[in-house]
Amino acid sequence: MSELDNLYREVIMDHYKSPRNKGLVEDAEYKLFRIKNPSCGDDITIQTKVENGIVTDCRQIGHGCSISMASASVLTEIMIGKTLEEAKNIADNYLNMVSNKEFDTELDLEEAAVFSGVRQFPARIKCASIAWVAFKDTIKGDSNE
Amino acid sequence: MMKNPYSKDFPQLNNGSVYLDTAATSLKPNSVIEAVNHYNRDLSSNIHRGMYEAAVETTELYESTRETVAKFLHAKTDEIIYTRGTTSSLNLVAYAYGLENLKAGDEIIVSELEHHSSFLPWQFVAKKTGAILKFVELNEEGRITVEAFKKVLSTKTKVVALTYVSNVMGYITPMKEIISLSHQYNAICVVDAAQAVQHIEIDVTALDCDFLAFSGHKMLGPTGIGILYGKQKLLNIMEPFEYGGDMNDDVNKDISEWKTGPQKFEAGTMPIASVIGLQKAIEYIENIGLSTISEYIDKLQRYALAQLKQIEGVKIYNPTSETGIITFNIETVPSHDAISFLAEKNIAIRAGQHCAKLICDWLGIYSCLRASIYIYNSYTDVDIFIEGIKEAVAYFKKLGF
């Protein structure tokens, strides 16, 4: 498998073509965070609802490359149902994995594990990270819009 | 296919890559590299200060570069200011001229073709002074025309800040007519020549522009050096933009005096090695001649466009561009996916918004691919690029994009 094929894995293409939890909801209980990358034109918004310490919903909307779109979609599926502690731990380890830093290889990153191919493409680390960074801001309780 | 006679002068081409990203930054010829190395290796010393041999030679090289630039632009030596790059040059004009001379209700003409460095300083000046930004309406191709310019020009116009060549569309602005019209209304013209100076002959005296800015690194020179040309009478009425060493004539506790001429705007130690390298870059371009350069680029660009047009699924945004810049997308494939594929093939082009979001908005796209051709590129480079695009189209189609 070439490095490029390792980047464009089936799971990633599936999420890119059929994005999950797409579209925002009008509900003040959600925290919303939007991040833009002006150099490439990526623009992603993550919206999260936390009840009693558990992520009960996670939504996404935006536009950008396949890696950024798919990583937002995968993120939302993984995070729904997680405790805040689990969510933060998975997000931190995922972000370390894609940026080629040390991460807990024992931790189950679920479908997000397919983004390990990004490590071979330093220029795409930002693409794979943007939604996850926005998510972390939402569970901190921040909203930027 | 004939061999490119210039490529041997550009050692970076030995890495086997196809370099089609000159609009971002150009490659450097050996003469430029050697001049920069000569300063760093043999001459390191400051200018206008030391009496020892290296300092004297350095000052001579530094000031003779100013003469080279002045001749290149048909300007007076005292009208050439060294800066960090086009961005610094344009900010200098916005701060030192714009903020001081504009007031509420005055108008600044810009366009959606502007690079952020030719737009944001004036958006800032407008906000600070209460002046109003007016946009020249682009024609259906995305060009600035004299007709459209006339519609926004008025007695309220005080500054016209336009790009000479668009870094996304590659179009040449009819600058001479625009400047002449602007002067009838007593407006000053600030020309962003970052993408023009390496393609077309610029005679600031004939053009009659008030300010003109460009960078060394897009015209075969080093990074960190830019030029601001300014008419002497305007430079004389402007306050310094930065204060510090070497820009003053006399310093006292109560009042100090500034140098006259360009040195007033060159505070602190300037990028001396880069200045010296710029001289060699200009000499390299002059030895070939800008008309030879543009004719060659034009041939290569037409060769590339003819083939790119044939590829199904490719959308070209500027098929009539005249300066080696080809902007396009593989439809259905985001530009950052496409360049990852090309990067794997060692083909260097650029993807994104190119620091010019307003023209992306105008085109109705989030981002695009840009290939830019220069004198060291060959027909083989174009063939490899076209083959790369064909393969990319097939690859992403198979993936389901």
SS3 A138: helix
- Contact: B344, A2; criterion CB under 8 Å: yes
Q: Which residues of B touch A8 (CB under 8 A)?
A: 399
The answer as to whether B11 is a domain residue is no
CB B103 within 8 A of CB B76: no
Q: Residue A141 above 80 pLDDT?
A: no
Through-space distance between the first and last CA atoms of chain A, rounded to whole angstroms: 42
CA distances from A110 to A1, A46, A57, B34, B155 (A): 21, 19, 18, 54, 65
Residues contacting residue A134 through CB under 8 Å, at least 6 positions apart: A33, A34, A35, A44, A45, A46
Q: Which of B337, B366, B395 sits opposite A41 (nearest CB)?
A: B366
Residues B143 and B148: their CA atoms lie apart, in Å, by: 10
The dihedrals phi and psi of B241, each to the nearest 5 degrees, come to -95, -35
Q: Domains in chain A, start-ordered, CATH in brackets? A: 3-139 (3.90.1010.10)
Residues B44 and B185 in one domain: yes
Residues B49 and B137 in one domain: yes
- Contact: B352, A40; criterion CB under 8 Å: yes
Q: Which residues of B touch A64 (CB under 8 A)?
A: 334, 336, 366
pLDDT digits (tens, 9 = 90+) for B122-148: 999 999 999 999 999 999 999 999 999
Nearest CA in chain B to A69: B334
Q: What is the DSSP letter of A61?
A: E
Residues B275 and B346 in one domain: no
Q: Which residues of B touch A123 (CB under 8 A)?
A: 340, 343
The answer as to whether B148 is a domain residue is yes
Residues of B93-123 as b/e, b for ≥16 C-beta within 10 angstroms? bbbbbbeebbeeebbbbbbbbbbbbbbbbbe
Q: Which residues of A touch B334 (CB under 8 A)?
A: 64-66
B305: its two tokens: 């466009």
A65: its two tokens: 């490359």
Residues B262 and B332 in one domain: no
Nearest CA in chain A to B392: A4
Half-sphere exposure in the Cβ direction for B86 (13 Å, CA)? 29
pLDDT digits (tens, 9 = 90+) for A18-63: 999 999 999 999 999 999 988 788 999 999 999 999 999 999 999 9
Residues B186 and B296 in one domain: no
Residues B222 and B368 in one domain: no
> In one letter, which amino acid is A34?
R
Residues B123 and B258 in one domain: yes
Residues B77 and B205 in one domain: yes
The answer as to whether B95 is a domain residue is yes
The answer as to whether B24 is a domain residue is no
For tokens 């600031």, what's the residue? B204
C-alpha dihedral sign at B28, B32, B34, B39:
negative
C-alpha distance from A41 to closest chain B C-alpha (Å)? 6
- Contact: A41, B337; criterion CB under 8 Å: no
- Tell me what pLDDT residue B1 has: 55
Residues contacting residue B295 through CB under 8 Å, at least 6 positions apart: none
- Contact: B395, A123; criterion CB under 8 Å: no
CATH number at residue B70: 3.40.640.10
- Tell me what pLDDT residue A91 has: 98
- Contact: B400, A17; criterion CB under 8 Å: yes
- Out of B287, B318, B349, a domain closes at B287
The answer as to whether B12 is a domain residue is no
Here the ipTM equals 0.92
Q: Which of A2, A4, A65 sits opposite B336 (nearest CB)?
A: A65
Helices (H) and strands (E) in chain A, counts: 5, 3
User: DSSP states of B99-125 as a string?
Assistant: HHH--TT-EEEEETT--HHHHHHHHHH
The answer as to whether B333 is a domain residue is yes
Residues B254 and B301 in one domain: no
Residues B370 and B277 in one domain: no
- Out of B287, B310, B329, a domain closes at B287
> In one letter, which amino acid is A118?
V
- Contact: B337, A66; criterion CB under 8 Å: yes
CB B189 within 8 A of CB B177: no
- Contact: A123, B340; criterion CB under 8 Å: yes
- Tell me what pLDDT residue B275 has: 98
Q: Which residues of B touch A124 (CB under 8 A)?
A: 336, 340
B355 catalytic residue (yes or no)? yes
CB B271 within 8 A of CB B225: yes
- Contact: B337, A67; criterion CB under 8 Å: yes
Residues B161 and B248 in one domain: yes
- Out of B227, B256, B287, a domain closes at B287
CB B147 within 8 A of CB B136: no
Q: Which of B344, B351, B399 sits opposite A40 (nearest CB)?
A: B351
Q: How many domains does chain B have?
A: 2
- Tell me what pLDDT residue A1 has: 62
B82 touches chain A (CB under 8 A): no
CATH number at residue B329: 3.90.1150.10
Residues B79 and B161 in one domain: yes
- Tell me what pLDDT residue B2 has: 65
Residues B73 and B65: their CA atoms lie apart, in Å, by: 12
**Domain span at B317:** 290-399
The predicted model gives A88-101 an average pLDDT of 97
Residues of B37-55 as b/e, b for ≥16 C-beta within 10 angstroms? ebbeeebebbbeeeeeeeb
Portion 179-198 of B in contact with A at CB < 8 A: none
Q: Low-confidence residues of chain B, pLDDT below 70?
A: 1-2
Residues B347 and B334: their CA atoms lie apart, in Å, by: 17
